Amino acid sequence: MKIPFLRSTLIAIFLFALTACSPKPEFKNIDITGGTAFGKDFSLLDPDGKTRTLADFKGKVVLMFFGYTQCPDVCPTTLTEMQQVMTLLGPKADQVQVLFVTVDPERDTPEILKQYVPAFDARFLGLRPADEAALEKIGKDFKIYYKKVPGTSAGSYTMDHTAGSYVFDKEGRLRLYIKHAQGPETLAHDLKELLK
């Protein structure tokens, strides 16, 4: 009677020791694991009009960036960097999903997103809010800043917006905030940590 109890106690102690000794990932970007009450999920439309949520990408590390297709600098630079990260990851890149979420759904139609985003990497996916209320909701849910800035001619404008990105692990937990212009090696390092 005592032997099964002793055996199960020893197994429990051994398993606890294994988890206690597991090295904590050493990220180069901002680790926000467990400390966030935001960014739990989203409901956005893909270029084919299908509603996408975080659950659609379970089993992959998800890299989420907010921007717009007519952005002159930050967005194309970030997407190019993300493409370089995918190259650095090699075969592991198939376990990563890059999502580009537009903050300018007025101009970023499904057709434009379908052409623009995969031009950087065929695996990248462009998403858009269904309407202004959905844009406001995702802005609040992910604590991102965006603002329309009038241009020099009537009807022209740019969008000021948050330049960082978020990373979810394979279980759909928000883990990292990626600062803009860190370089592909830094981001690849952090994604490799999450892919272990």
C-alpha 50/C-alpha 126 separation (Å) is: 12
Torsion of CA 90, 174, 184, 87, to 10 degrees: 20
Q: In the beta sheet, which residues pair with residue 149?
A: 158
Spatial CA neighbour of 192 closest among 169, 171, 163, 173: 169
Beta-carbon neighbour count of residue 53 at 10 Å?
A: 12
Tell me whether residue 21 is annotated as binding: no
Q: How far apart are CA 43 and CA 141, in angstroms?
A: 11
Burial class (CB in 10 A: 0-12, 13-18, 19+), 84: middle
Contacts of 30 (CB under 8 A, 6+ apart): 176, 177, 178, 179
Written as one string, the DSSP assignment of 104-167 is: -TTT--HHHHHHHGGGT-TT-EEEB-SSHHHHHHHHHHTT--EEEEE-SSTT-EEEEE---EEE
Annotated binding site for Cu cation, which residues? Answer: 71, 75, 161
* Numbered residues of the known binding site: 71, 75, 161
